[in-house]
Chain A
Amino acid sequence: MADAAVDKGWATLLRRNGDEVVARWSEAAAQSLEGRMTRAELERDVREMYDALVAGVGEGDRHTLADASFAELRALLADVSHTRARQGFSSTETAVGVFALKEAMLGVLEEHGDLAAYRSFADFSRLIDELGLYMLEVYAQAREAVIGEQADALLELSTPVVKLWDGIISLPLVGTLDSARTQVVMEKLLQALVDTGSEHAIIDITGVPAVDTQVAQHLLKTVQAARLLGAECIISGIRPQIAQTVVALGIEFGDISTKASLSEALLAALRKQGTDVVRRTGRRDR
């Protein structure tokens, strides 16, 4: 329960001097966010945070962000942090917005404050720290999500499935195949088989520096899954050092057809498909 003395503290000051607080707050925040967002945007954000803060502050000066009455404020802060993280703001630029409220309140205190208000400033300061930390926490989570999405996008980008011929697609694998990437690559190949109705897939591993049992297992599983879809896979681009290593490891590719190069694999797929490839004799064009 709040007694009369406490009720003259920061909460009252905040409520009574709304316009001045918002003006000073925006001013203080603008100093660190100059050029990152327009003054109008900043003032709108600040006004929203002010309203949510005042709405959540009930009686008295002792509050914590976990109070049920701050649900709306928490949602708003999370929203602002998310937006800032996605816009590429730094963590400091994100939290400075609420920390600027302290400076604003000090100014208001000097103008209008009494002893009670000064005494309660520590409580106020603690609450604002909580708001800032909460924003930083949400910011960190949001950044991680952004980074994760970018990594996923890269994964997608680096695995192009190419249509070589009617009914023949190819997947050139390049670089180190870690577990996550191999999984994505293989799923993409299977999806492409379905989407294009192709019956032949060539998995070219020319760009893969090493084939260990995990990569081999992913390859074998993919070939089996492709068979269930009615398609045949050819593995091409097996360089001599890879071939020797795979044999020494004891991996058996069984009845899966393998070819040294992509062009040989294409030729084999065309033949199986019943497409004849003939070399014209006589005069060459070029």
Chain B
Amino acid sequence: MPTPVVVESGEIHEIHTDADVVRVRQAARTLALSAKLSLVDQTKLVTAASELARNTLVYGGGGRATVEVVRLGPRRGVRAVFVDEGPGIPDLDLALTDGWTSGSGMGLGLSGARRLVDEFEVSTDVGTGTTVSVVKWTR
């Protein structure tokens, strides 16, 4: 059943360079402020967005992020969706294991981002790409 989420405003950012990752992070902060997330929650969302945008760049070979202010009944939040048409993630459980990396990172981006947000969804297909969607709600 689809959730009746209302999108109040949003931005789309292409992710092809390091500078784009910074832009996505800034967009996440701006929208987190306008959704009135607490300082801690802003920081958590921005950090999760940073991790996921970097994965889109590094592992997905680039893609795009949609960052939106959303409302569900009385609650507002920020949703960030990261889409790439990269190689996909062959073993999602493994990728979500703390400390596991196929590259030279800390292996805490995906699993850590999941802990930083309220909703976390990954859909991935080998050879097709990866979409990661996260939401942080106001308390």
Give the interface of A toward B (CB within 8 A).
Answer: 176, 178-180, 209-214, 216-217, 240-242, 244-245, 248-251
B21 in the interface, Cβ–Cβ < 8 Å? yes
CB-CB under 8 A from A249, the residues of chain B are 47, 51, 108, 112-113, 115-116
Closest Cβ of chain A to B19, distance in Å, is 7
Closest Cβ of chain A to B73, distance in Å, is 26
B16 in the interface, Cβ–Cβ < 8 Å? no
- Known contacts A210-B25, A250-B108, A250-B115: A245-B98 contact under CB 8 Å: no
Closest Cβ of chain A to B44, distance in Å, is 5
Asked if B25 and A176 sit within 8 Å, CB to CB, the answer is yes
In the bound assembly, the distance between CA atoms of A241 and B98 in angstroms comes to 21
CB-CB under 8 A from A250, the residues of chain B are 98-99, 108, 111-112, 115
Chain A facing B: main interface SS: helix
Closest Cβ of chain B to A256, distance in Å, is 15
What would 13 more interface pairs be, CB under 8 Å, given A212-B51, A248-B44? A209-B43, A212-B109, A213-B105, A213-B106, A213-B112, A241-B42, A244-B40, A249-B47, A249-B108, A249-B115, A250-B99, A250-B111, A250-B115
In the bound assembly, the distance between CA atoms of A248 and B112 in angstroms comes to 6
List B26-65 residues whose CB lies under 8 Å from chain A: 26, 29, 39-40, 42-44, 46-47, 50-51, 54
CB-CB under 8 A from A214, the residues of chain B are 50, 54, 105
List B81-125 residues whose CB lies under 8 Å from chain A: 98-99, 105-106, 108-109, 111-113, 115-116
Can you report 21 residue pairs joining A to B where beta carbons are below 8 Å apart?
Answer: A178-B19, A209-B29, A209-B46, A210-B25, A210-B43, A210-B46, A214-B50, A216-B106, A217-B105, A240-B40, A241-B42, A242-B43, A244-B40, A244-B44, A245-B43, A245-B44, A249-B112, A249-B115, A250-B98, A250-B99, A250-B108
Selected from B18, B99, B112, the residue in CB contact (under 8 A) with A178 is: B18
Among B21, B26, B29, B47, which residue has the most Cβ atoms of chain A within 10 A? B47
CB-CB under 8 A from A176, the residues of chain B are 22, 25-26
**Which residue on chain A has the smallest CB distance to residue B98?**
A250
- Known contacts A245-B43, A245-B116, A249-B47: A213-B22 contact under CB 8 Å: no
Asked if B98 and A178 sit within 8 Å, CB to CB, the answer is no
Asked if B47 and A180 sit within 8 Å, CB to CB, the answer is no
CB-CB under 8 A from B22, the residues of chain A are 176, 178
Closest 4 CB pairs of A and B: A249-B112, A241-B43, A212-B50, A213-B106
Asked if B19 and A211 sit within 8 Å, CB to CB, the answer is no
CB-CB under 8 A from A242, the residues of chain B are 43
Closest Cβ of chain A to B106, distance in Å, is 4
Asked if B18 and A180 sit within 8 Å, CB to CB, the answer is yes
CB-CB under 8 A from A178, the residues of chain B are 18-19, 21-22
CB-CB under 8 A from A209, the residues of chain B are 29, 43, 46
Among A180, A209, A213, which residue has the most Cβ atoms of chain B within 10 A? A213
CB-CB under 8 A from B50, the residues of chain A are 210, 212, 214
Asked if A241 and B39 sit within 8 Å, CB to CB, the answer is yes
In the bound assembly, the distance between CA atoms of A214 and B101 in angstroms comes to 13
